[in-house]
């Protein structure tokens, strides 16, 4: 089998030992990494092998966007708090979206993500068949879940989610997975939550939830259930190591303890939480309690950018500002949140560059002012630039499941210009439908 051999790169493995090679070699065979070393051991080319000269480039694990919504209406209704934003922008669009619009929305969303160094998305949306088709074509690793709620809310149902699992789980050689998704607590009841747990157990899959995103959600939970959201989910069996809880902004001490005790994973989405005015999650305290915390951008309707480098910088800075403590959220930790922690939350063998791991990695171009000056012999200096200086434009090459899906910032399997045209047309069509409905 032909191999992919990457030579002369600054290899930031983000493995448990923090191994870094200033001028290393990494070899991929099929969908797995088979060797990573300092470049001194000879690697003999075999017939069919492809070589990449990564001189001047950082080779690192691909970023994992742990809380994601395919987006069609970026910039449509800014400056609204969460509940109003959902009613005025999010719900009207997702209720109106059809398979064609969802397909182009997913393709343009995944395009933006791949071009910003993301190799895995944990995407909660509707029309999962269209999303799976888009993910299969473009080459991204996608964990999909329905935006499911009670039928009267006009979103997906648990039956829709089950059908999507049957039709799409395991596609693209396992690169596409389907989980059970829950819209948020105000659109469900206890019976729904119990049914969601039963469905996840029946399918043997994980769960993607929104948790404590805003105080309005907490107040709704206290009024309807008599307790805070994390306790409601726990009562329904929906906290645990197979659950990714997005946001987790407004947690009290008892809820942090509950997430830690149950092994629930958290997606921290700092830029979305800030834009919607929801507050700052207690991430330093979560980390001290042993909670696995990854990073997500949320949705471009409520963030306007899927750039996970931007999310990393926001995650590093916002807690330092909140606590007036420059020692919080160091670059190495934040990089691991965007790689190791996301992989752990999804049960994936990715997020690090080690022999045997899945070959999901990116090459970062440092031949630019963003990375100047660069001490190539210092892993700490490399990491500092990645978190505090870089943006998604530095992502040069993306390899997912052992295949090159972006080379020299050009997507390999799809036509980016067509995607942009069709996504714009899809949004205009959905917007015009909304205008007619509102009349």
What pLDDT sits at residue 288?
Answer: 98
Residues 6+ apart with CB under 8 A from 158: 146, 148, 180, 192, 195, 196, 199
What pLDDT sits at residue 77?
Answer: 72
Extents of the domains making up the chain: 3-61+350-408, 63-346
Identify the CA nearest to 185 among candidates 250, 141, 281, 261.
250
Looking at domain 3-61+350-408, its CATH class is: mainly beta
How far apart CA 175 and CA 166 sit, in angstroms, is 15
- Quote the radius of gyration of the chain (alpha carbons, Å): 21
What pLDDT sits at residue 1?
Answer: 62
Token pair in block for residue 405: 């899906």
**pLDDT means per 10 residues in the chain (439 residues)?**
92 98 98 96 88 97 98 80 80 91 97 98 98 98 97 96 98 98 96 98 98 96 98 98 98 98 98 94 98 95 92 98 97 98 98 98 98 97 98 98 98 98 94 63
How far apart CA 152 and CA 173 sit, in angstroms, is 36
What pLDDT sits at residue 322?
Answer: 96
Identify the CA nearest to 82 among candidates 282, 296, 273.
273
Peptide bond into 140 cis (omega under 30): no
Sheet holding 265-268, edge to edge: 293-295, 265-268, 243-247, 207-211, 176-182, 141-146, 118-125, 63-69, 298-299
Residues 6+ apart with CB under 8 A from 21: 9, 10, 11, 13, 36, 37, 38, 39
Which residues are registered as beta bridge partners of 148? 156, 182
Angle between helices 190-203 and 158-168 (to 10 degrees): 10
How far apart CA 156 and CA 173 sit, in angstroms, is 26
Cβ-contact 348, 361 below 8 angstroms: no
**Cβ–Cβ contacts within 10 Å for residue 215, how many?**
13
What pLDDT sits at residue 435?
Answer: 56
The second-level CATH assignment, the architecture, of 63-346 is: Alpha-Beta Barrel (3.20)
pTM (global) more than 0.85: yes
Same fold, 3-61+350-408 and 63-346: no
């Amino acid at each position: 089998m032909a191999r992919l051999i990457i030579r002369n790169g600054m290899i930031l493995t983000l493995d448990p030992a923090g191994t870094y090679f200033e001028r290393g070699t990494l070899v991929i065979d099929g969908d797995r990494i088979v060797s990573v070393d300092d470049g001194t051991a000879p690697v003999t080319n075999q017939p069919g092998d492809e070589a990449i000269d990564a001189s001047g480039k950082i080779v690192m694990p691909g970023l994992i966007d742990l809380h994601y919504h395919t987006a069609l209406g970026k910039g449509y209704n800014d400056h609204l708090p969460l509940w109003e934003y959902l009613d005025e922008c999010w719900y009207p669009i997702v209720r109106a979206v059809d398979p064609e619009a969802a397909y182009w929305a997913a393709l343009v969303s995944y395009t933006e993500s791949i071009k910003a160094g993301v190799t895995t998305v944990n995407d909660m949306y509707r029309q999962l068949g269209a999303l799976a088709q888009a993910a299969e074509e473009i080459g991204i690793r996608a964990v999909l879940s329905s935006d499911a709620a009670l039928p009267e809310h006009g979103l997906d149902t648990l039956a829709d989610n089950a059908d999507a699992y049957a039709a799409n789980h395991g596609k693209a050689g396992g690169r596409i997975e389907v989980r059970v998704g829950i819209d948020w607590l105000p659109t469900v009841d206890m019976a729904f939550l119990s049914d969601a747990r039963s469905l996840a157990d029946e399918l043997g899959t994980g769960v993607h939830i929104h948790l404590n995103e805003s105080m309005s959600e907490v107040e709704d939970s206290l009024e309807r259930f008599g307790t805070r959201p994390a306790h409601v989910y726990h009562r329904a069996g929906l906290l645990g190591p197979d659950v990714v809880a997005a946001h987790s902004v407004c947690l009290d001490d008892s809820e942090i303890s509950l997430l830690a005790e149950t092994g629930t994973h958290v997606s921290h989405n700092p830029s979305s939480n800030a834009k919607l005015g929801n507050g700052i999650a207690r991430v330093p305290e979560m980390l001290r309690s042993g909670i696995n915390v990854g990073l997500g951008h949320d949705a471009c309707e409520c963030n306007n950018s899927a750039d996970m480098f931007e999310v990393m910088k926001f995650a590093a800075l916002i807690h330092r500002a909140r606590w007036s403590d420059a020692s919080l959220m160091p670059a190495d930790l934040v990089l691991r949140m965007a790689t190791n922690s996301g992989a752990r939350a999804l049960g994936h063998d990715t997020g690090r560059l080690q022999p045997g791991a899945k070959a999901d990695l990116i090459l970062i171009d440092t031949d630019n002012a963003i990375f100047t000056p660069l001490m190539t012999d210092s892993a700490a200096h490399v990491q500092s630039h990645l978190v505090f200086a870089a943006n998604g434009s530095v992502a040069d090459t993306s390899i997912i499941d052992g295949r090159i899906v972006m080379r020299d910032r050009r997507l390999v399997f799809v036509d980016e210009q067509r995607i942009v045209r069709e996504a714009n047309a899809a949004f205009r069509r959905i917007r015009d439908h909304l205008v007619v409905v509102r009349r």
